[in-house]
Amino acid sequence: MKRIKKEDFIENLKEALEIEDDKTLTMDTNLKDLEEYDSLSVLVIVAMLDKKFGKQISSSDFEKVTTINSLINFIGEKYFE
């Protein structure tokens, strides 16, 4: 199984969530605090998890997601290099 680089994942996430170019996202960025974060962001993340990792995230698990790091932890370290 091809592992994906964490930096690439963050870049994909930034693009998918349509975050402004001049903003830097790090592992510690709290997704829900981002200005661009809205109810569509939820769909974007669900879609990404399905498409890239074949995973589903329940709404209760999603509630626990805060930083990008916590999202990566949910997906599972084994998917990342």
Partner 1 sequence: MGEKIRKIEYYLPEKIITNKDIYYSKEIANEKGQIDENLLEKRISKLEKSTGIKERHIVKEGETALDIAQKVSEKILQKYDRDKIDFIILCTESPEYYLPAGACILQDRLNLRKNIGAFDFNLGCSGFVYGLVLAKSFIQNNIAKSILLITSETYSKLIYHKDKGNRTIFGDAAAAVIVERSKKDQIGKFVLGTDGSGYKNLIVPNGGLHRRYNPSAKEIDDGAGNIRTENNFFMNGTEVFNFTIKVVPELFFQILEKNKISLENLDYVIFHQANKYMNEYLRKKIGIPKDKYYLNLLYTGNTVSATIPIAIRNALDDGTIKKGKKVLLAGFGVGYSWGGTVITI
Cα–Cα dist 53/13, whole Å: 13
The residue among 6 and 55 lying less far from partner 1, judged by its C-beta, is 55
* CB-based contacts of 41, cutoff 8 Å, min separation 6: 17, 31, 34
39 binds partner 1 per the rule CB under 8 A = yes
End-to-end CA distance of the chain: 11
Q: Which residue has the tokens 């509630």?
A: 63
Retrieve residue 48's tokens. Answer: 């990404």
Segment contacting partner 1 (CB under 8 A): 3-11, 22-30, 38-46, 72-80? 38-46
Contact pick of 6, 25, 34, 37 for partner 1 (by CB under 8 A): 37
50-79 mask for partner 1 (x: CB under 8 A)? xx----xxxx--xx----------------
* Site residues for partner 1 per CB under 8 A: 18, 32, 36-44, 46-47, 50-51, 56-59, 62-63
